[in-house]
Amino acid sequence: MSTPSLARWVALPVGVLAVSTSGILIRLTTAAPLVTAAHRMLWSAAILLVVALLAQRGDLRRIDRRSLTLLAGSGMLVALHFALWTSSLFWTSVASAVLLTDTHPALDAVTARVLLGEPTPAAVWAGIATTLLGTVVIAGGDVPLGARALLGDAMALGASLTFAGYLVIGRRVRQTLGIAAYAGIVYGIAGVVIAAVAVSTGLSLVDFSARDGLLYLGLVLIPTLAGHTVFNWALRYVPVSVVGVAVVGEPVMTTLWAWLLLAEPPATTAILGGAVTLAGIFLALRTSQSLP
């Protein structure tokens, strides 16, 4: 199997499976959302930067001013993404937060076309439309009500917008920078930004329970390193629009995790919408096989 095929058919499904645990793990924490997001990013960055120093020192030495600017921009977008995403889970339902955060595929395709010149075939657009239709069906069974839920929805939409920009920058920088170096720097910048905001609002970064510490470790190892970092690796071989549409499988898997771990069986709309979403993902991945 070629590396691009490995990225499409192995890395992306594994990444979706891993990242789908994020909402469940975050909802189980008791610390402030910003504290959770800061620890998640800083711990992940520490691990990846050690790997980069051991195996990718050449890449680190080759970082020029332009790449550093892009890395800083990506880090800021990641900081906003995780701060908004983590917070949204406590203001609206898990299903709504995941759904709205994963409305970014159309943004991914548009920004990749404008900024990177990447073509998006009509069939991939069809796959994008199908996945979004599936997520709308899922949302139909969990329509949030009230000002608090609406604010959470707005946070999730903000997380979607920042994720799209993060993927586009990653697609460009990953062509010349190893995954550990790229993700380590980006996560590190994001962690420092989130931690600074948390401390400035009076939150303590060291006052968390042992249980939360274990949940942080789970967030680092599963949805971050095995999820987001795998997506970043795939960006070197797979167009942004395809990575973006694959990530929309997250609501389907999150619904399954909620059923298995939180004893919340999916509604009929979740089952139907999940099937439509998976069909759209398959269409986009199959079509992308002919793309560079």
DSSP state letters, 109-169: HHHIIIII-----HHHHHHHHHHHHHHHHHHTT----SHHHHHHHHHHHHHHHHHHHHHHH
CA triplet 25, 216, 44: central angle to 5 degrees? 120
Q: What is the mean pLDDT of each run of 10 residues along the chain (292 residues)?
A: 85 92 92 96 97 92 89 94 92 79 69 68 79 76 69 86 83 84 94 97 94 97 93 84 76 81 75 80 63 46
Q: Which residue has the tokens 């400035």?
A: 200
Q: Which residue has the tokens 């594994």?
A: 14
pLDDT given for residue 292 in this prediction: 47
Give me the residue spans of the domains in the chain. 3-290
CA triplet 160, 191, 58: central angle to 5 degrees? 100
pLDDT given for residue 22 in this prediction: 92
pLDDT given for residue 285 in this prediction: 64
> Which amino acid type is present at position 54?
L
Q: Which helix (H) or strand (E) holds 171?
A: helix 147-173
Whole-model pTM: value is 0.80
> Which amino acid type is present at position 62?
R
Buried b (16+ CB within 10 A) or exposed e, 1-15: eeebeebbeebbbeb
CA triplet 171, 37, 155: central angle to 5 degrees? 75
Give helix then strand counts, H and E, for the chain: 16, 0
Q: How far from the centroid of its chain's Cα atoms is residue 146's Cα?
A: 27
pLDDT given for residue 273 in this prediction: 79
Residues in the chain: 292
pLDDT given for residue 76 in this prediction: 96
Of 192, 90, 201, residue with least CA distance to 149: 90
